[in-house]
Amino acid sequence: MIKNLEFFIAFRFTKYRLIRTLIIVFAIAVGIAVQFFVAIIIDSTQANLIKRTLGLSPHITIKPYDNEKINDKIKNPENILKNIDNNFDVNNFKKVIYLVEGSVKAYNFKNKNDLNVRFVGIENVIGEDFYGISENLIKGNDLIKNPQEVIIGNNIYEKLGLDIGDTISLKKNTNKDEYEGFRVIGIFKSGNQVLDNYVFGERAKVQDFLGYKRDEYSSLYFQIYNVFDSDKIKKILEQNFNFPYELSEWKESNKQLLNGLSAQSQSSFFIQFFILISIGISILSILNMKVVEKYKEIGVLKAIGMNNSNISKIFIYMSFIIGFLGVFIGIVFTFLILSLFINLTKNEQGVPLFNLVIKTEYFILSMLFNLFVVIFAGYISSRKAIKYEPSKIIIGN
């Protein structure tokens, strides 16, 4: 005796006219692939935009007030972090650095070119590579081994005509024309005009060069996991700590960027929602066509004594088999399309220009939704079939 007769019949119905079944599965798979691909591209576009605009910059900053001479430098920043950690876990921050920086004049005495640059030294406290130097390195290396080595931005490389092994001369902030030479060991290109005008040096050397003591810094920079929470975290810090310094966050000076990102988030939600609904309706229509083909067979089954509950199960099982295959193949199609997309969007160095962001929750919810749609399609079609009399179905009336 066959166990689960309804599933066995549904499987046989699925195999009958196999080419047509495969076409239906393919149509569902293409719809699923389009749905996932569009969702991934939309999410990745926003994530990459945030990374390009905010990934290499601070989300929250603590620095001296511009109009106060008393606190023109931050002293003992570790005390600030310790104070924060006592009341607010600093591990909530993604990256934290102590920063010492200043504007200096850079020279290349070989070709007599000069340029205003930022001489920067950092100390990583939480996380590493705050400015993505390693990721954006185009020449040389990113490991400074002695005080007279520096890494320069692409803007300096192009305008001063400096290359790996050349000497960049920086003018000290004194009344005399005093210069100090540094050997260029690395060149990076971030795409950010401000950052590409930076000269990164050993932190202690930069402090000495700019007249800072070992416990003095220009500012503290924080990056957080969710950039849109910067105003909330700033408010918590302001309410719990009495800083003698200025506390700011990225939204305050980037209103247009914030509006753009917010608008993109809202539009991406609606786009993905309506794509999901439209694909669901398409699946419902496609499966309904497959089920309608089986009305005569259903009439025969009813004529030999199968009840309405059994008929409904057959439709649901058949829809589930077709839908499951469609969803599975659709996922395979999605990753094939994404692989092709990544290979076609690489820079001259062979590095992908587009980093994909795949939200696991969205994938799971979408798969469950699509499976629900196909099962629902089977149920709706079965409700139509069981209303007909066996004799009418068999003779085609």
Has residue 251 been placed in a domain?
no
Residue 223, pLDDT score: 92
pLDDT tens per residue, range 279-298: 777 767 766 666 666 666 76
Residues 315 and 168 placed together within one structural domain of the fold: no
Residues 327 and 349 placed together within one structural domain of the fold: yes
Has residue 25 been placed in a domain?
yes
- Please give the structure tokens belonging to residue 157: 């490389």
Distance CA 184, CA 170 (A): 12
pLDDT over threshold 50, residue 368: yes
Residues 158 and 230 placed together within one structural domain of the fold: yes
360-385 vs 18-54: helix crossing angle, rounded to 10: 150
Kindly report the pTM of this predicted structure: 0.69
Residues 204 and 229 placed together within one structural domain of the fold: yes
pLDDT over threshold 90, residue 118: yes
Has residue 249 been placed in a domain?
no
Domain boundary among 244, 274, 293: 244
pLDDT tens per residue, range 46-67: 777 777 777 788 999 998 887 5
pLDDT tens per residue, range 299-320: 677 677 777 777 778 777 887 8
Residues 169 and 286 placed together within one structural domain of the fold: no
Residues 163 and 220 placed together within one structural domain of the fold: yes
Mean pLDDT to the nearest integer, 344-354: 65
Residues 159 and 302 placed together within one structural domain of the fold: no
Residues 227 and 340 placed together within one structural domain of the fold: no
Domain boundary among 244, 277, 297: 244
Has residue 155 been placed in a domain?
yes
pLDDT tens per residue, range 200-215: 999 999 999 998 999 9
Task: Please answer whether residues 121 and 202 qualify as being in contact, where contact means their C-beta atoms are separated by less than 8 angstroms.
Answer: yes
Has residue 60 been placed in a domain?
no
Q: Could you tell me the residue range of the domain that residue 176 belongs to?
A: 65-244
C-alpha separations of 16 from 11, 13, 183, 316 in Å:
9, 5, 75, 16
Residues 206 and 265 placed together within one structural domain of the fold: no
Give the count of domains, the chain: 2
Has residue 13 been placed in a domain?
yes
Looking at beta carbons, which pairs linking 127-130 to residues 24 or more positions away fall under 8 Å? Answer: 127/93, 127/94, 127/95, 127/96, 127/223, 128/95, 130/56, 130/95, 130/97, 130/221, 130/223
Task: Please answer whether residues 287 and 376 qualify as being in contact, where contact means their C-beta atoms are separated by less than 8 angstroms.
Answer: no
- Please give the structure tokens belonging to residue 192: 């950010």
pLDDT over threshold 60, residue 363: yes
E-strand stretches of the chain: 60-63, 74-75, 93-108, 113-126, 137-140, 149-153, 167-171, 179-188, 198-201, 216-217, 219-224, 246-249
